Chains A and B, each alone.
Chain A
Amino acid sequence: MLIIRGIALLLDVKYVKNVANLSSVWDMGLQLFRKHISLSPEIEHKTVTGLLRLIESERLGEAIDKTLLSHLLKMFTDLGMYSETFEKPFLECTSEFYATEGVKYLQQSDIPDYLKHAESRLQEEHDRCILYLEANTRKPLIATTEKQLLQRHTSAIIEKGFTVLMEANRVTDLSRMYTLFQRVDAIEMLKQALSLYIRGTGQGIIMDEEKDKDLVPFLLEFKASLDKILEESFAKNEAFSNTIKESFEHLINLRQNRPAELIAKFLDEKLRAGNKGTSEEELEGILDKVLVLFRFIQGKDVFEAFYKKDLAKRLLLGKSASIDAEKSMITKLKTECGSQFTNKLEGMFKDIELSKEINDSFKQSSQARTKLPTGIEMSVHVLTTGYWPTYPPMDVKLPHELNVYQDIFKEFYLSKYSGRRLMWQNSLGHCVLKVEFPKGRKELAVSLFQSVVLMLFNDAQKLSFVDIKESTGIEDKELRRTLQSLACGKVRVLQKTPKGRDIDDKDEFVFNEDFSAPLYRIKMKETVEENTSTTERVFQDRQYQVDAAIVRIMKTRKTLSHTLLITELFQQLKFPIKPADMKKRIESLIDREYLERDRSNPQIYNYLA
């Protein structure tokens, strides 16, 4: 055709150009060719099938004559037959090919392989467009491939592979999944799968009471791995990040209160002395991470109660690993929940610092130097009521020396701060006793109650339970526990007859003459009753808070419908509460005549001043 055009070039240039409705020799040639091809559909069909077969074999991994392919396609393009004659059957063929392949492959291989395969298939099709297909074909071709290989199988892929990948932390594969799913608009599905995964995985552990001990470490680790996956696989997608947050919040609050308590206890462990092996920085890092969990917790008051209880112990017994770490934690809590949340906690620190000063100046004072009994050293923590957890007052008859000491201190303190009231919290007292055992001298670190009991044996050989009870005045249950710790534990400084774990009224106790221990200083274990009432107290406290909130709201509104009152309460109260419980409080207030139902509409409450 080139030759023909060459021969007729002059004609083309001179004549055709100037006459309308006449096409050039080249065009005419093409037209004629097309006409002949279309006259014989068999040839057309053969060519197209041939082409398709070629491509298919390439897809199946055979080497093919790409030049031939390219030429033939070019021909179709030139003839204007590309889209009709070739592209349509080609896309249909592709669709069919990948439909079969998708189903087959999904059955045969695991998800990571399948995703890899899909990814390379998409790349191949992309290259194909560059190599020999028309550029316009790319879009529909890629779309067809995506549809058959991915879109149709999204749910199957997630179902079969998502959890596996998450559990194995396969960041690259997840990243691939994310990218591929993004192509077919299935991100939403992936997000849901993520949410389900978090909830499903965590639920077992959260709800399993036996795993309470490992709960916080588990959650920390889980959160860290999720964060890593979010960053590396899910392109820090904000929606995903929110999903993680929501699911976590849901998870942690599946069990009310207990997680809050466990987090507080976990912190106690970390902040307590003896927790060697963690540097300040590491500790700081852990605190930060725990704080993330803390943020998810709805019952922050439960956390506060337990945290406070443990903090009190750490401060009073001087068991804090580092005051800096303690303060840094308080600062963190303050930024998180505001100063209202922490000012009692801060008050506790202040008390401890002040107490040091008071003790110092007491030792310097004339009272101390002149009147104190010798042989005893005492240090006093002066705690402000209200900052500290409430401790039930416990009576005890102190030995004379201690009584004198207390009185002198009291005199000194009140002369310094007149108008204050000083109360002794006997249950918090701790002592170190020097004991002369026949087999050696020992120092015993004991509670005040334990020491009061032990000091009785300075003057007596054998005492019965009733005797001890009478001389010490310690409450029955508490005394039984104390004696148990002295005579039935691992370290037995007293001997009980008859032997046995329980303390009977008729039991008798003698000083253990045979006592020996490898260490000089011995800490006696206290059998402290685990304070289950902390949670109870929190609940009690919540009731008051609900009552107060209702009264506050009604006082300003005077009249309010039930629904609006409930809505306002939900806004004001910072802990989870069921509407039924609110109702109970409302009814209690009606009963106590703070509120009444409106006479004409029982759905409306009136405030009674």
Chain B
Amino acid sequence: QHKLGRGSRDKVQQFMAITGASEKVALQALKASDWHLEGSFDYFYSQPQISVTNSRHLEDLYSRYKERDADMIMVEGTSQLCNDLLVDPQDVVMLVISWHMKAATMCEFTRQEFIDGLQSIGVDSIEKLREKLPSLRAEIKDDNKFREIYNFAFAWAREKGQKSLPLETAIGMWRLLFAERHWPLIDHWCQFLQVRHNKAISRDTWSQLLEFVKTIDPQLSNYDEEGAWPYLIDEFVEYLTENGCVQRNK
């Protein structure tokens, strides 16, 4: 969450009131114009990708996918959405879309999540969203966004009321995420988990793994066993060394 001063916050409110755009768009436009309200309008209207979304269209779109007897999009609606977008439900882009929608659970969107999400992406029709897919997919390549999406994925993928992520789901998510961002040890990691661990993954382990991937080189030369790495990662390193997957000089 961005911390905004009172002045900036007012500007965001004004911007949103006038353009009817989402807070995210307002922030983007205001930042781009160095917090000048007029400048931000220029920016807003000159940028084709930040277009005003028509709330009526969004409502229609929502009703198209929503469950008949519940105010929610569930598995059926989601697969319909995938069909319309011509993407596989397993496509990582669905994760990115869910991230934009701040969806709490996999394959489910509340009305608010769905509408706010599409607004923040800046589209109000399936065609527009489909056009956006390449750029959404590219967001994975951005380091900061990747981190956010990665951490978002944990809560998104876990079952309701559960603290940790079942191992199979976790492995699936890791494979999905690291397919886009190459991590040479991913196969070893998944294999290790299946052979040695076979238990659910805690949030801490989940988020620390990303740290591990980002900071420790594949030869593990800068890995410190005395460090605060979760024990599962320690055991992974041990496993790698034992099995001769990496040569480590102590």
Contact = CB atoms under 8 A, between A and B. Distances in A.
Contact of B204 (A561, A590, A603, A604): A590
Contacts of B228: 561-563, 583, 597, 602-605
Nearest to A602: B211
A591 interface: yes
B181 interface: no
A603 B234 CA distance: 14
A208 B100 CA distance: 63
A562 B231 contact: no
A99 B228 CA distance: 58
Interface in A571-599: 579-580, 583-584, 587, 590-591, 597
B184 interface: no
Contacts of B164: 591
B242 to A, nearest CB: 15
Contacts, number: 37
Nearest to A582: B231
Contacts of A561: 228
Contacts of B234: 580, 583
Nearest to A591: B202
A contact residues, range: 10 to 19
B152 to A, nearest CB: 16
Contacts of B163: 591
Nearest to B230: A587
A460 B202 CA distance: 60
A282 B186 CA distance: 66
Contact of B231 (A584, A597, A603): A584
A583 B231 contact: yes
Contacts of B207: 597
A97 to B, nearest CB: 50
A562 B208 CA distance: 14
A561 B202 CA distance: 21
A583 B202 CA distance: 13
B231 A580 contact: yes
Contacts of B5: none
Contacts of B211: 602
A591 B203 contact: yes
A562 B227 contact: yes
A580 B211 CA distance: 19
B205 interface: yes
A579 B230 CA distance: 11
A583 B234 CA distance: 10
Nearest to B225: A579
Nearest to A562: B228
Contacts of A583: 228, 230-231, 234
A179 B114 CA distance: 89
Given A580-B231, A583-B231, A583-B234, A563 B226 contact: yes
Interface in A540-584: 561-563, 579-580, 583-584
Interface in B212-250: 226-228, 230-231, 234-235
Interface in A354-368: none
10 contacts: A579-B226, A580-B235, A583-B228, A587-B204, A590-B204, A591-B202, A591-B203, A602-B208, A604-B228, A605-B228
Closest 9 CB pairs of A and B: A562-B228, A583-B231, A603-B228, A590-B204, A591-B202, A580-B231, A584-B231, A587-B230, A587-B204
Interface of B: 163-164, 202-205, 207-208, 211, 226-228, 230-231, 234-235
Interface of A: 561-563, 579-580, 583-584, 587, 590-591, 597, 602-605
Given A597-B207, A603-B228, 19 more contacts: A561-B228, A563-B226, A563-B228, A579-B226, A580-B235, A583-B231, A583-B234, A584-B231, A587-B202, A587-B204, A587-B205, A587-B231, A590-B204, A591-B203, A591-B204, A597-B208, A602-B208, A602-B228, A605-B228
